[in-house]
Chain A
Amino acid sequence: MTGDQARGVEAELREVLAEVTGRPDLRGVPAETPLFGGGVGLDSLAGTLLLRQVQRRFGVDVAAEDLNLDSLESLSTLAAFIKERLSGDIR
């Protein structure tokens, strides 16, 4: 995967996050902001929609591979999780 593709994952995740939460302002959220709790306040419903979009757009089933869903700590950790799976596929 090229550097452009890697940056593209994070940009696409921002777009998805804004869609599933109905909050356009989240397009500008810093990549390290916690998704759970005070930062973004991701709940079960928005979280499920986010994971479904990740599966649809990137082919990565986060819920099946990450028991504790720690990859949802922030946009940055989720993008890293997806990039790792994608680069593994290419090899």
Chain B
Amino acid sequence: MTGDAPADQIIKCVIWDIDNTLLNGVYLESAGEPPPADPELAGVLHELAGRGILQALASRNPPEAAAYVRSVTGADFAAAECGWGSKAEAIARIAADLDVQADAIAFVDDDMVERAEVAAALADVLVLTPEDAAEAADWPQFSPVVVTAEARRRGQLYAERRRRQEAAQAFGGSRDEFLRQVGTRIIIGPARAGDLPRLHELSVRTHQLNSSGQPVTEGELARLIGSARHQVATLRLADDFGDDGLVGAAILARNGTGVATAQLLMMSCRALGRGALDALLAWLCRVAARAGAVQLAVPCVVTDRNVPMRLALAAAGLRAEPGSVAADGRAVFTRSLAGGLPHLPDWVNVEASQ
């Protein structure tokens, strides 16, 4: 791989997952009528199809699911692979079937693990979340005629990510060694007014690495930034492959009780596997301890989507009372701030707060 300029990549085929992607729910889990189509993605699908881009399905479902998606979206699919095998193999069959090269294929799936497996097996495929796909019609790969600076930048981020993933696969050493090798830089600093739109966007779009599962409005964020009882910290991430900008944040409540509570932790999935959430947690422990707290608490909603968040909490030494998940789906994960705190790598820079 030479890391071609992303603007050169032209998508000729979009392959969609069905459950929680093209459908607003899970096909087989519905008791009566299966769930309806996601109107936003169905709109994107029709827009792209109108530009001559092929549409296809790859799903862990019985074949009837494809017929159902056809009927609720009104779309013609050039190919449909429904079964229980690997998504990467399904995509390879569709590529062969339609005679499309892997680097002209985009794959959309809500499941991070499916995306990771396809990205690992087929490095040239453009792998997207449904949230990404909702914007895809504006990207140069899908619309070579319309090329805005913003769209060009997004495409570039994906190319950078692909090169990073390839380098990670080839590296073979520990994760920390890899992060150091590729010049990972993390800056944690106070949120500013100019960050509000991005912070709101992150609160809406992050799921796998989001503790509260609740969107926060720009107004509420502005109030928290101005509050003496709260600290809103942002995390910016870059490495030698590129600059991802603001990818995460934490909202820390200082209530003077000896317990510092992180009301919200959120991180873009772009930062997965890059030590960003671990760094944020290690920093929170230090900030809370310096302010005199003896315990860090993170109320976290427990779902099957944010398992990556729970893994980061466990790795940072936070634990919840077993069986303590409340009716609202939340458990409070805590750790003592006495003694050794989680490792904060030396590539993490902390900006002084105002």
Chain A 72-83 near chain B by CB (<8 Å), digits 1 or 0: 100000000000
Q: Is A6 an interface residue (CB 8 A)?
A: no
> For the complex, what is the distance from the CA of A23 to the CA of B175, rounded to whole Å?
10
Other-chain residue from A23, A68, A70 in contact with B172 (beta carbon distance below 8 A): A23
Verify B322–A43 contact, CB threshold 8 A. no
Known contacts A48-B112, A52-B113, A67-B302; is A41 also within 8 Å of B175 by CB? yes
Q: Which residue on chain A has the smallest CB distance to residue B174?
A: A41
Residues of B with C-beta under 8 A to A67: 302, 310, 320, 322-325, 331
Verify A21–B322 contact, CB threshold 8 A. no
Verify B320–A43 contact, CB threshold 8 A. no
Within the complex, what minimum Cβ distance (angstroms) separates B35 from chain A?
A: 22
Residues of B with C-beta under 8 A to A1: none
Q: Is A11 an interface residue (CB 8 A)?
A: no
> For the complex, what is the distance from the CA of A43 to the CA of B171, rounded to whole Å?
16
> For the complex, what is the distance from the CA of A69 to the CA of B273, rounded to whole Å?
18
Residues of A with C-beta under 8 A to B343: 37-38
Within the complex, what minimum Cβ distance (angstroms) separates A15 from chain B?
A: 16
CB neighbors of B among A32-48 (8 A): 36-38, 41-48
Verify A44–B311 contact, CB threshold 8 A. yes
Verify A24–B172 contact, CB threshold 8 A. yes
Known contacts A43-B175, A43-B311, A68-B314; is A49 also within 8 Å of B116 by CB? yes
Verify A48–B172 contact, CB threshold 8 A. no
Residues of A with C-beta under 8 A to B25: none
Q: Is B304 an interface residue (CB 8 A)?
A: yes
Among B307, B309, B320, B343, the most chain A Cβ lie within 10 Å of the Cβ of B307
Verify A48–B311 contact, CB threshold 8 A. yes
CB neighbors of A among B290-307 (8 A): 302, 304, 307
A-B contact count (CB 8 A): 83
Among A41, A43, A69, the most chain B Cβ lie within 10 Å of the Cβ of A43
Q: Which residue on chain A has the smallest CB distance to residue B312?
A: A44
The secondary-structure label for the interface of chain A is helix
> For the complex, what is the distance from the CA of A67 to the CA of B318, rounded to whole Å?
11
Interface size class, chain A: 20 to 34
Q: Is A90 an interface residue (CB 8 A)?
A: no
> For the complex, what is the distance from the CA of A70 to the CA of B313, rounded to whole Å?
11
Verify B116–A45 contact, CB threshold 8 A. yes
Within the complex, what minimum Cβ distance (angstroms) separates B29 from chain A?
A: 15
Residues of B with C-beta under 8 A to A42: 311, 315
Known contacts A37-B343, A45-B273, A67-B302; is A22 also within 8 Å of B311 by CB? no
Q: Which residue on chain B has the smallest CB distance to residue A21?
A: B175
Within the complex, what minimum Cβ distance (angstroms) separates A67 from chain B?
A: 6
Q: Is A51 an interface residue (CB 8 A)?
A: yes
> For the complex, what is the distance from the CA of A43 to the CA of B175, rounded to whole Å?
8
Q: Is B36 an interface residue (CB 8 A)?
A: no
Residues of B with C-beta under 8 A to A23: 172-174
> For the complex, what is the distance from the CA of A37 to the CA of B176, rounded to whole Å?
10
Q: Is B319 an interface residue (CB 8 A)?
A: yes
Q: Which residue on chain B has the smallest CB distance to residue A63?
A: B307
> For the complex, what is the distance from the CA of A41 to the CA of B115, rounded to whole Å?
22
Q: Which residue on chain B has the smallest CB distance to residue A56?
A: B113
- Knowing that A37-B343, A41-B174 touch, tell me 9 more A-B residue pairs with CB under 8 angstroms: A22-B169, A36-B315, A42-B315, A43-B311, A44-B315, A45-B272, A49-B113, A68-B319, A68-B320
Interface residues, chain B, with chain A CB atoms under 8 Å away: 112-113, 116, 168-169, 171-176, 208-209, 272-273, 275, 277-278, 302, 304, 307-312, 314-315, 319-320, 322-325, 331, 333, 342-343
19 A-B pairs in the complex with CB atoms less than 8 angstroms apart: A22-B171, A36-B315, A41-B174, A41-B175, A41-B176, A43-B175, A43-B275, A43-B315, A44-B208, A44-B209, A44-B273, A44-B312, A46-B175, A46-B273, A47-B307, A48-B112, A67-B324, A69-B311, A72-B311
